[in-house]
Structure formats: C-alpha cells, structure tokens
Amino acid sequence: MDVPLLEKLQSKFECNQCGQCCVVGGDMLLSHDDVLRIASDLNYDFDGFVDCYLERVPADPDYFLVRDVMPCAFLDKLHMRCQIQSCKPLACRDYPFVLYARGECNIDAVLTCPVAVKMLEDHLKGVE
Ligand code: SF4
Ligand code: SF4
C-alpha cells in the first residue's frame, strides 16, 4: 500500500472505540507535546505524570513510552473505552493507516482494528 492511499484511508477512518487495539500491547510512544497535553487534561504536573505512567526513552529525552500497554494504562477496562480520548497521543490518532505508513506499527497491528479490516476489504472490492 502506498502512502497516499494510506493517508486517504486514514482521512476516512472513524474509530468506533471498541478498545481492541488498546489491549494488544506494543510500544506506545508519546512525544513531549503528548505528555504536556495529557498531563494537563488529567491535572498532573509533567513530572508527576511521567512518574505514574511513563518511562523515558534513554536515546531521546523528548520521547516517552507508556509503561503498561497490555492493556493500555489509559483504557477503562470495565467499559473498554479510552479514558483520554479527547487528548490521546498522536500515535493513537494516526493509528492504523498513517502509523503504519510511518513504519511505527506492523500490518498485524493494523489488522487488529475491525474498522480498518472492513475498510481494506471494501477497498479491495472496489466499494470505497
Ligand atoms: S491512549 Fe487510549 S486510544 Fe491509545 S492505546 Fe491507550 S486507551 Fe487506547
Ligand atoms: S481497534 Fe480500531 S475501532 Fe477499535 S478502538 Fe482501536 S482504532 Fe478504534
């Protein structure tokens, strides 16, 4: 799949908040801006939020990894809903197609998402 197609698919992508991608693990990379935004929304100071939820990426101090990803620390496990939907990390906003285009997830991760699978099926059938 080429990048323009993946970007087109992402532009039409509508997450139904099923939570399936939030339980399978994988590296959840947050930028400094992600951390600022989410910490502010959850009423943490920056360092307090990092201490509670994240690990610093040793090679790049501007990036952080979510410590608990199976399931994600920000998933409401009872209702299977993201608790930070309105301020969630860019990686989650770009999942599945643009994240895949950037090489930040593999095709198995894309196929975890039922909405993405349906869109790909429709694309292959020429429906979309
Ligand atoms: S931040 Fe939200 S959308 Fe992203 S993996 Fe965690 S629970 Fe899912
Ligand atoms: S698997 Fe797809 S539809 Fe479900 S929460 Fe993740 S992105 Fe949204």
For the stretch 24-68, pLDDT in tens is 988 889 999 999 999 999 999 999 999 999 999 989 989 999 999
Cβ 91 vs Cβ 97: under 8 Å:
no
Lowest mean pLDDT among 24-28, 101-105, 114-118: 24-28
Q: Is 84 in the pocket of ligand 1 (CB under 6 A)?
A: yes
Using the predicted structure, report yes or no on whether residue 93 has a pLDDT greater than 90: yes
Rg (CA), the chain: 15
Q: How confident is the model at residue 128 (pLDDT cuts 50, 70, 90)?
A: low
Write down the H helix ranges in 30-96.
32-41, 46-53, 90-94
| Cβ–Cβ under 8 Å, residues 74 and 37 | no
Q: Can you tell me which residue has the tokens 């323009």?
A: 4
Nearest CA to ligand 1 atom 8: 22
Using CA positions, which residue lies closest to atom 1 of ligand 2?
113
- Cβ of residue 54 lying under 6 Å from some atom of ligand 1: no
Distance 23 CA to ligand 1 centre (A): 9
pTM of the model: 0.91
Sorted by where each begins, the domain ranges of the chain are 3-125
Compute the distance between CA of residue 104 and CA of residue 94 in angstroms, rounded to an integer.
10
- Name the pairing type of β-strands 60-66 and 29-31: antiparallel
Spatial neighbors of 36 by CB under 8 A, at least 6 apart, are 46
